[in-house]
A and B are shown apart, each in its own frame.
Chain A
Amino acid sequence: MALEILDPTAEQTAVERPLAPGMPAGARIALLDIRKPRGDVFLDTVEATLVERGFSVERTAKPTFTKPAPPDLRSEIAERCDAVIEALAD
């Protein structure tokens, strides 16, 4: 006789999430540092290179890489910028 057991998982079937449209030309890009070591050096160069190419860039950081970014910070970034580069996870 087949054994019935109860599903121990959260039974999530994640609905496929749509992504945002691509960034416009001349967009303002937020460089979000997750604050792991060496990430700032990486982002310095990304910043300089993007500026050469005509993007405006804003540097910002989240308090810790160990948690998702605080909602307030996310809202601020979304309000001021058109796109985000988050770096550097290792």
Chain B
Amino acid sequence: MAPELLVLVKHDCPVCDQVLPVFDDARAGGAPVRILSQSSAPDTAEQARRLGLGEVPALDEDLEASVRYDPDAVPAVLLLDGGAERGRVEGLDRARLSALAAQVGTTLDVSGLPEHRPGCASKARDPEVAARLAARAARRDGRIRSRVLTVGVLEDVHEALHERGLTDGLPVVPPTPERVVAMLAHSSRSPQDLVGSVPPYDGEATVEKVAINAVMAGCPAEALPVVLAAVEAACRPEFALHGLIATTHPAGPTVIVSGPHADRIGMNAGGNSLGQGNRANLTIGRALQLVVRNVGGSRPGVEDRAAHGQMGKVGSCFAERLDGMPWAPLGVARGVDAGDTAVVLVATEAPRLVIDQLAREPEALAASFALALRSIAHPKLVLAMDGLLLVGPEHGRVFAAAGWDRERLCEELFERTKAPAGELARGAGGSAEGIDPKWVSDPAMPVQKFAAADRILLAYAGGDAGLFSMVFGTWVAGEVGSTPVHARVEDWL
């Protein structure tokens, strides 16, 4: 292929207006000149008409040439030899343009042109255009494989998504290819890597599918690796997600982000961390539940049989507060390196408050916690559930001052949540629930509430002021139910 001059222009650029006639003339005179316009067909035609060009420039389809040669500005004139670039001039520089043209044996009539003019920004640099091109490239090279759904021009996109059954009842962010590609940029994993098989219909959650649902949830893109880790953990068989989805019990997955990455993505581990206001906290849990709905296929009233449910099933996620923590983070306690971040999932009800504004000693505070823990599900129901105790900073100080670590506190809580068998028997206290009397040989014998001390999980978060902690009861636990699980954010970065 003979050497040629490739001229990139756009319609809304006064400098392009100035150089176009010069190159159009050269081309008409037989010079090896190819002109490509970054603009639309109508705009290009209008410019050609306005300038009185002999030929309407061809279009740079998909801005392919513009992206390949990537000029900052147009007009950009490139000397190509067999497709390879030998030189270029961006903007208007009379002398340099003449010199470049001379290399293909062409003399340009630059007499009417100013000496120097900077060009205008290349259209390929427009952020919206760049996003669109990135999305098209992702589809072409197979990183994006999902079916495309079209929302008609007369439809309201939010109504359409709701009617298609793709939302949790709240509006979602429409997952355009551009938004999904931008989300995917925050994980180095292949979009087609399998994260997990999601019940109840064993839907395959690829990185791409999780990213689509994360966009819908409104996640900040840097939260994607946390969402991926949450989905990975949720799909582990020991978490029993299928049963958790289908049960009449109100529990849902609570996501605890334990480690330094939480702060890097702007999560809230302090005041109101279980409440509204923090985008990452609210959307990470929501993204997981949208995956359960859209990838797994679970719908309330059909597969999801919760009698009441609770707001945590829209999404339940918080970060552990690392500063001032009386013991090692939950992630570290579960074997994750202190420098890494664990995403811990527990199948929980909505949290309940524990107030204690008077305890100064750890034993007394543990006694208050134990009273609250005993009431998980029903005070007379034992061994069936685990407990998650979220200790607030003003309470945590009491244990830190006394040098109690996680094991010490859990042992204390395990002992203090025991109760005499007689009090727990069916009929005792006028309540029909409880232990079958045939198991109560000695009414004074202490019966444990929890299967073991380490079935009481401790987390730490909350605001600086407030002598409060929170108790989350769990769904059915252990071998016959759900076991807490975790995955590492670092595996999904």
Q: Per the CB under 8 Å rule, do A and B touch in the complex?
A: yes
Q: Which of B51-59, B171-179, B460-468 contacts A (4 or more CB under 8 A)?
A: B171-179
The answer to whether A8 and B209 touch (CB under 8 A), given A64-B481, A66-B480, A68-B242, is: yes
Contact code string A42-73 (vs B, CB < 8 Å = 1, else 0):
00000000000000000000011111100000
Flag whether A75 is at the interface (Cβ < 8 A).
Answer: no
Inter-chain contact B243/A5, CB cutoff 8 Å: no
- Contact flag A11-B151 (CB < 8 Å), given A5-B175, A63-B480, A67-B243: no
Stretch at the interface among B87-95, B289-297, B416-424, B450-458: B289-297
Task: Tell me, in angstroms, the Cα distance from A8 to B147 when the chains sit together.
Answer: 9
Beta-carbon contacts of B157-180 to A below 8 Å, as 1s and 0s?
Answer: 100010000100000001111001
The interface residues of chain B lying within 8 Å CB-to-CB of A68 are 242
Instruction: Give the CA-CA distance A10 to B209 in the complex, in Å.
Output: 8
Contact of A8 among B166, B247, B481 (CB under 8 A): B166
Report chain B residues within 8 Å CB of A5. Answer: 148-151, 157, 161, 174-177
Q: A66-B481, A67-B242 are in contact. Are A11 and B174 (CB under 8 A)?
A: no
Considering the complex, give the chain A residue whose CB is closest to the CB of B147.
A7
Q: Does B476 contact A (CB under 8 A)?
A: yes
* Given contact pairs A5-B174, A67-B243, A10 touches B150 in the complex (Cβ within 8 A): no
Residue of B nearest to A63 (CB): B480
Among B203, B216, B247, contact of A10 (Cβ-Cβ < 8 Å): B203
The answer, yes or no, to whether B357 is at the interface (CB within 8 Å) is no
Q: Do the beta carbons of A10 and B149 come within 8 Å of each other?
A: no
B side interface size, CB within 8 A: 44
Q: Name the distance in Å between B358's Cβ and chain A's nearest Cβ.
A: 40
B212 interfacial by beta-carbon distance below 8 Å: yes
User: Given A64-B480, A66-B240, A66-B247, is A4 in contact with B205 using a C-beta cutoff of 8 Å?
Assistant: no
Chain B residues 270 to 307 lying within 8 A of chain A, measured CB to CB, are 290, 294-297
**Which chain A residues in 1-59 approach chain B with CB under 8 Å?**
1-12, 14, 35
Find the A residue at minimum CB distance from B165. A9
Distance in angstroms between the alpha carbons of A35 and B480 in the assembled complex = 10
Q: How far is the CA of A35 from the CA of B476 in the complex (A)?
A: 14
Cβ-defined contact, A2 with B151, below 8 A: yes
Interface status of B153 (Cβ within 8 A of chain A) = yes
Choose from B166, B244, B297 the contact partner of A12 (Cβ within 8 Å). B297
* Contact (Cβ within 8 A) A9 B203: yes
CB <8 Å contact, A10 and B198: yes
CB neighbours of B208 from chain A (8 A):
6
Residues of chain A within 8 A (CB-CB) of B242 are: 66-68
Q: Give, as a whole number of angstroms, the nearest-CB distance from B344 to chain A.
A: 20
Interface string of B471-485 (1 = CB under 8 A from A): 000001001111000
User: Please, which residues of chain B bring their CB within 8 A of the CB of A12?
Assistant: 201, 203, 297
User: At the interface, yes or no: B103 with Cβ under 8 Å from chain A?
Assistant: no
Say whether B363 faces chain A, with CB atoms less than 8 Å apart. Answer: no
Question: With the chains together, A64 CA to B476 CA distance in Å?
Answer: 10
- Is B233 an interface position by the 8 A CB rule? no
Q: Mark B235-264, 1 if CB is under 8 A from A, else 0.
A: 001001011101100000000000000000
Does B146 count as interface, using CB distance less than 8 angstroms?
Answer: yes
27 pairs, CB–CB < 8 Å, chain A vs chain B: A2-B151, A2-B153, A4-B148, A4-B177, A5-B149, A5-B151, A5-B174, A5-B176, A6-B146, A6-B149, A6-B177, A6-B212, A7-B146, A7-B212, A8-B295, A9-B203, A10-B205, A10-B209, A10-B294, A10-B295, A11-B147, A12-B203, A35-B480, A63-B479, A63-B480, A66-B240, A66-B476
Chain A contact residues, CB within 8 Å of chain B: 1-12, 14, 35, 63-68
